[in-house]
Structure 1
Amino acid sequence: MRLALASFVGLAAVSPAAAQTITLKPLAEARMRYEFVDQDGVAANADAATVRVRAGVSATSGKWSMLVEGQGNLALSDDYFDGLNYKAGYPLVADPQNAALYRAQIQYRTEAIVVTAGRQRIALDDERFVGGVGFRQNGQTFDAVRAEISPVAKLKIDAAYARSVRTIWGVDGTGARPQAIDGDDLFGNVAYATPLGTITTFGYLVDEDEAQVQGFRLSSQTYGLRLAGAHPAGKARLSYALSFARQSDFHRNPNRYSADYYLVDLGIELRRAKVGAGYEVLGADGGTALTSFQTPFATGFKFQGWADKFLTTPPDGVRDLYGSAGYSLKTLGPLSAVNVQAAYHRFDSDRVVRRYGDEIDLLASAKVRRTLVSLRYADYRAKAFGADTQKLWLQLDWAI
């Protein structure tokens, strides 16, 4: 950090004008959450009450900026298994107590190029492959160098090299749930905006160096194509996303496999209402563990249901057929950004015909001044995978 600060001051001093116009901006946000989990086969229910605080400052001078931000998570009620506290008699709620450096980065920004170095958030496309795991109290960040280049209109090249991934397990992380996963990870996107939508080609090379994390079996190479767009259709608005990718083993992965990924997602928005449907497949190879399509750096909570049953893809893969409906209001009395949503998921295997289960997800949220209040519920009904699980969240989010 001393080196980064010295670099920033030195770069700002290159221009006398820049040296006189260093703009400081405070960063502060807080989240309080209660999470309840009732899972068949686990002796007790989880009652997790946690408070997460992030605070820091950014400094900007001309095209250069620097950001430092810390993060802390405190358990007010610890009747839950946080993944590290040995309370395996409770269901898992992956929010261990933590106090750590969250981000520390230096950035150079122009209209044509943005280069960011240091500990940073990286969220690519819909975060299906690389994301910040924003729902968990301890977010995921990357010790990385990233370049976002726009050489001509409508074209964007995004390339990143990550030496370490700072996980949601925090400073006490160990073993298969480590504080950080070192490696040589490469993330590349090339996106071009067309009248039909944005076409993105991508390649993600995951090269994990931690033997305790599945014995290198999450190291993979993934290459794919994505189309995403939205267009008016009369008084409605139609949105769509189509994606295909192929994944295979990489570097020290002892498995030899290849598996495919498919996504078809459609949505229609009419005034305040929105409905959507989709089909997502994370394919399998031969049915051996960790030879199905894996996304270890994804924001997994956004996909395949909020009960988190498929964060690690089963050996036989998973097919998710889903539908959703929502309604929103800009204001309702003292409330703003009012939103209600419901979604249904049907989960099946990709190989060896098997019904995994079904899930219903419900959400109601609204803002009261600067505070976002949300109530969320997930109900997973197992058929041939996992166990019946009900989860309930009450959450308050505040930011300056």
Structure 2
Amino acid sequence: MKSMLLTAAGLAVAGPACAQEIKPLAEARLRYEHVEQDGLAQDAEALTVRVRAGVQAATGPWTALIEAQGTMAVVDDYYDGLHGAATRPLVADPENVALYRAQLQYKARGVAVTAGRQRIALDDERFVGNVAFRQNAQTFDAVRVELTPVKGFKADVSYAWSARTIWGVEGNAARQAAVGGDNVFANLSWASPAGTLTGFAYLVDQDEASVQGYRLSSQSYGVRLAGAQKFSAAAKLSYQASYARQSEYGGNPNDYRTGYYLLDAGLEVSGFKLGGGYEVLGADAGAALTSFQFPLGTNFKFQGWADKFLTTPPDGVRDLYGSIGWGTKALGPFSGVSLQAAYHRFESDRLVRHYGDEIDLLASGKLGKTTVSLRYADYSADRFATDTRKLWLQLDWNL
């Protein structure tokens, strides 16, 4: 498998000599993050820069790609999860220089096969995602096969032998640079008139003793429906529903069974948006890591941006949330302007105890090739974690 990665990387480098199309890849991100957390005497101040650069070469049905990334801390008054003592809040963006992607893809009518280090983001990224918000993101050493034999049907199956984590090349102990294992991600979807109906099986094999003693290995099976209905040119209703069951897998010494479900809907009328939903991460008997877990998901997208529930508590989580927003194509010098506010009420699934509440705010817009965003999260603790406030100012530039 490692030789396949080297082959993909070599072809990406050599490809331009014989390619019909060569495309440079370049992007950069500058982010300021401030965190105040009760229980810690000092706040976190992080000013980080992330740069990615590479090249993509294509000829006929073949495409080769190689891309490197580097993250630098201009202001490093924060705990990055790897270095020093946790006397300040965690900002999970350690400095890093690494190979981000190196892949070879064959794509023809009805089939696409991708081998090498790649991004894999399935459905809403709840189970398998790229964790794109973090500077170092998450990729997989994998082989992915996507088949569309007839219009509306798709089979998407990946075998990943390594998850390249957000902790970068210096990752260690429970926060390793890469977590090996025999992971299988399988999706079968149908684009029905009501929305895309997907059946899925995610077999997560975290084959590293230092990563929670194998206790993040799990098998999840479920179904998801996501769709939208337009009432007029200015009004649209979007919705999604998901259900899954999870149990131990691979070397996981725990013996548990638990469930997950999500109900979510949003109404958009002339740029104004109103949404809400209910997400439940079930618990078994209340032991650690026997509740529904998402070790490979883009968890920042769910259950509030304060990151209090990246690892599901032993008694599970019930998240009742609502949001309001507004968007417009242009406002002054900005395009694609968006404003959003969300409220979350968190409870345990087992014993139904109030964990806390969170308010999240976001404003974003685009200036040329640069996206500017201002984000804020305020978690008010009751019976779980501690009061935490986070502020981000971020600039994203793409070639």
Aligned residue number for residue 307 of structure 2? 308
Aligned residue number for residue 71 of structure 1? 69
Q: Which amino acid aligns with 1:307?
A: A
What is the alpha-carbon distance in structure 1 between the residues aligned to residue 397 and residue 139 of structure 2? 21
| Closer/same/farther in 2, CA of residues 351 and 64 from structure 1, 3 Å limit | same
What is the alpha-carbon distance in structure 2 between the residues aligned to residue 9 and residue 173 of structure 1? 27
Alignment pair present for 1:35 and 2:39: no
Which runs of structure 2 are paired with 1:135-154 in the superposition (5 Å)? Answer: 135-154=133-152
Which runs of structure 2 are paired with 1:130-169 in the superposition (5 Å)? Answer: 130-169=128-167
5+ residue gaps in structure 2?
none
Which runs of structure 2 are paired with 1:230-245 in the superposition (5 Å)? Answer: 230-234=228-232, 235-245=234-244
SS at match of 1:3: helix
Q: Is the 8 A contact 1:80 1:87 kept in 2?
A: no
Aligned residue number for residue 271 of structure 1? 270
Shift of 1:43: 1.6
Between the two proteins, the alignment pairs up a number of residues equal to: 394
Please identify, of 199-208 and 233-242, the stretch whose mean Cα deviation from structure 2 is larger.
Answer: 233-242
Q: Is the 8 A contact 1:19 1:61 kept in 2?
A: no
Residues 2-50 of structure 1 show CA distances to partners (whole Å, capped at 9, x for unaligned) of 533666799x8xxxxx986521100000000000000000120000000
Shift of 1:353: 1.9
Alignment pair present for 1:48 and 2:52: no
SS at match of 1:83: coil
Q: Is the 8 A contact 1:29 1:53 kept in 2?
A: yes
Q: Is the 8 A contact 2:67 2:99 kept in 1?
A: yes
What is the alpha-carbon distance in structure 1 between the residues aligned to residue 36 and residue 206 of structure 2? 33
Aligned residue number for residue 398 of structure 2? 399
Aligned residue number for residue 356 of structure 2? 357
Q: Is the 8 A contact 1:102 1:119 kept in 2?
A: yes
Aligned alpha-carbon RMSD (Å) = 1.5
Q: Indicate which of 175, 196, 199 corresponds to 1:198.
A: 196
What is the alpha-carbon distance in structure 1 between the residues aligned to residue 166 and residue 221 of structure 2? 26
Shift of 1:182: 0.3
What is the alpha-carbon distance in structure 1 between the residues aligned to residue 13 and residue 220 of structure 2? 40
Which runs of structure 2 are paired with 1:319-330 in the superposition (5 Å)? Answer: 319-330=318-329
What is the alpha-carbon distance in structure 2 between the residues aligned to residue 215 and residue 254 of structure 1? 8
SS at match of 1:59: strand
Residues 250-297 of structure 1 show CA distances to partners (whole Å, capped at 9, x for unaligned) of 121010001100000000011111110000000000000000000000
Normalising by structure 1, we get a TM-score of 0.96
| Closer/same/farther in 2, CA of residues 216 and 334 from structure 1, 3 Å limit | same
5+ residue gaps in structure 1?
13-17
Residues 324-362 of structure 1 show CA distances to partners (whole Å, capped at 9, x for unaligned) of 111011111211111110000000000112000000000
Alignment pair present for 1:3 and 2:7: yes
Aligned residue number for residue 115 of structure 2? 117
| Closer/same/farther in 2, CA of residues 8 and 304 from structure 1, 3 Å limit | closer
Q: Is the 8 A contact 1:8 1:64 kept in 2?
A: no
| Closer/same/farther in 2, CA of residues 252 and 232 from structure 1, 3 Å limit | same
Normalising by structure 2, we get a TM-score of 0.96
Aligned residue number for residue 368 of structure 1? 367
| Closer/same/farther in 2, CA of residues 287 and 58 from structure 1, 3 Å limit | same
What is the alpha-carbon distance in structure 1 between the residues aligned to residue 214 and residue 150 of structure 2? 39
What is the alpha-carbon distance in structure 1 between the residues aligned to residue 11 and residue 338 of structure 2? 45
Q: Is the 8 A contact 2:65 2:104 kept in 1?
A: yes
Residues 52-79 of structure 1 show CA distances to partners (whole Å, capped at 9, x for unaligned) of 0000000000100000000100000110
SS at match of 1:298: coil
Residues 115-146 of structure 1 show CA distances to partners (whole Å, capped at 9, x for unaligned) of 00000000000000000000000010000000
Q: Indicate which of 146, 170, 182 corresponds to 2:168.
A: 170
SS at match of 2:190: strand
Q: Which amino acid aligns with 1:349?
A: S
Q: Which amino acid aligns with 1:323?
A: G
Aligned residue number for residue 22 of structure 1? 20
SS at match of 2:23: strand
What is the alpha-carbon distance in structure 1 between the residues aligned to residue 43 and residue 11 of structure 2? 50
Q: Is the 8 A contact 2:19 2:57 kept in 1?
A: no
SS at match of 1:215: helix
| Closer/same/farther in 2, CA of residues 325 and 67 from structure 1, 3 Å limit | same
What is the alpha-carbon distance in structure 2 between the residues aligned to residue 336 and residue 263 of structure 1? 32
Identity %: 63
